[in-house]
Amino acid sequence: MTALIEQLRAIVGAGNVLTEGDLTAWEQDWRKRERGKALAVVRPADTQQVAEVVKACAAVGTSIVPQGGNTGLAVGSTPDGSGTQVVLSLQRMNAIRATDAANLTMTVEAGCILQTLQEAAEKAGFLFPLSLAAEGSCTIGGNLATNAGGTQVVRYGNTRDLCLGLEVVTPQGEIWEGTSGLRKDNTGYDLRDLMIGSEGTLGIITAATIKLYPLPAARLTAWAAVPSLEHAVTLLGLAHKHLGSGLTGFEVMGKFALSLVAKHTPQLRVPFVDDAAVPWCVLLENSDSESEEHARARFEALLETAFEDGCVTDAVVAENLTQAHQLWHIRENIPLAQAEEGLNIKHDISIAVSRIPAFVASTDAMLKREIPGVRLVNFGHLGDGNLHYNVQAPVDGDPKAFLNEQEGRVNTLVYDAVAEFGGSFSAEHGIGGLKVDKLEKHKSPVALGMMRAIKRAIDPQNTLNPGRVIRV
Q: What is the pLDDT of residues 370-407, one digit of tens each?
A: 999 999 999 999 999 999 999 999 998 888 899 899 99
> What does the pLDDT average to over 259-280?
95
Say what the pLDDT of residue 32 is.
Answer: 81
User: Left, alpha or beta for 461 (phi > 0: left; psi -120 to 50: alpha)?
Assistant: alpha
Q: Quick check: 16 and 42 in contact, CB under 8 A?
A: yes
> What does the pLDDT average to over 160-189?
96
Q: Which CATH class is domain 2-89?
A: alpha beta
> Is residue 269 classed exposed, middle or buried when 0-12, 13-18 and 19+ CB atoms within 10 A define those classes?
exposed
Contacts of 265 (CB under 8 A, 6+ apart): 333, 336, 337
Highest mean pLDDT: which range of 43-52, 338-347, 426-435: 43-52
Say what the pLDDT of residue 165 is.
Answer: 97
Q: Quick check: 62 and 1 in contact, CB under 8 A?
A: yes
Other residues' Cβ atoms within 10 Å of the Cβ of residue 1: 14
Q: What is the DSSP letter of 470?
A: S
Q: What is the DSSP letter of 30?
A: T
Percent of residues, the chain, with pLDDT higher than 70: 100
Q: How far apart are CA 407 and CA 409, in angstroms?
A: 6
Using CA atoms of 415, 420, 421, 422 in order, give the dihedral in degrees to the nearest 10: 90
In the predicted structure, residue 447 carries a pLDDT above the cut 70: yes
Q: Give the relative orientation of helices 47-59 and 2-12 as an angle to the nearest 10 degrees.
A: 170
In the predicted structure, residue 1 carries a pLDDT above the cut 80: no
Say what the pLDDT of residue 332 is.
Answer: 92
Say what the pLDDT of residue 30 is.
Answer: 84
3-state secondary structure of 18: strand
Nearest to 206 by CA among 97, 296, 361: 97
> What does the pLDDT average to over 270-288?
95
Q: How far apart are CA 436 and CA 426, in angstroms?
A: 11
The separation between CA 294 and the C-alpha centre of its own chain, rounded to angstroms, equals: 32
Say what the pLDDT of residue 233 is.
Answer: 98
Amino acid (1-letter code) at residue 18? L
Q: Where in the chain is the domain with CATH 3.30.465.10?
A: 96-214
Q: How far apart are CA 175 and CA 170, in angstroms?
A: 6
Question: What Rg value do the Cα atoms of the chain yield, rounded?
Answer: 23
CATH topology of domain 96-214: 3.30.465
Average pLDDT over the chain reads 95
Q: Where in the chain is the domain with CATH 3.30.43.10?
A: 2-89
Q: Where in the chain is the domain with CATH 3.30.70.2740?
A: 342-420
Q: How far apart are CA 286 and CA 299, in angstroms?
A: 7
Nearest to 76 by CA among 436, 461, 456, 448: 436
* CATH match of 342-420 with 3.30.70.2740: yes
Say what the pLDDT of residue 399 is.
Answer: 87
Say what the pLDDT of residue 155 is.
Answer: 94
Q: Quick check: 454 and 202 in contact, CB under 8 A?
A: yes
Q: Are strands 175-178 and 247-254 parallel, antiparallel or unpaired?
A: unpaired
Q: How far apart are CA 376 and CA 393, in angstroms?
A: 9
Percent of residues, the chain, with pLDDT higher than 90: 90
Q: Are strands 38-42 and 85-89 parallel, antiparallel or unpaired?
A: parallel
For the chain, first and last CA: distance in Å? Answer: 25
Q: Where in the chain is the domain with CATH 3.30.70.2190?
A: 218-335
Q: Quick check: 373 and 395 in contact, CB under 8 A?
A: yes
> What does the pLDDT average to over 286-308?
92
Q: What is the DSSP letter of 216?
A: P
Say what the pLDDT of residue 73 is.
Answer: 85
> What does the pLDDT average to over 10-31?
94
Measured CA distances, 188 to 180, 185, 204 (Å): 16, 9, 21
Q: How far apart are CA 65 and CA 41, in angstroms?
A: 9
CATH topology of domain 218-335: Alpha-Beta Plaits (3.30.70)
Say what the pLDDT of residue 130 is.
Answer: 95
Helix (H) / strand (E) element for 362: namely helix 356-370
Would you say the C-alpha torsion 285, 290, 296, 298 has a positive or negative sign? negative
User: Left, alpha or beta for 197 (phi > 0: left; psi -120 to 50: alpha)?
Assistant: left
Would you say the C-alpha torsion 324, 326, 327, 332 has a positive or negative sign? positive
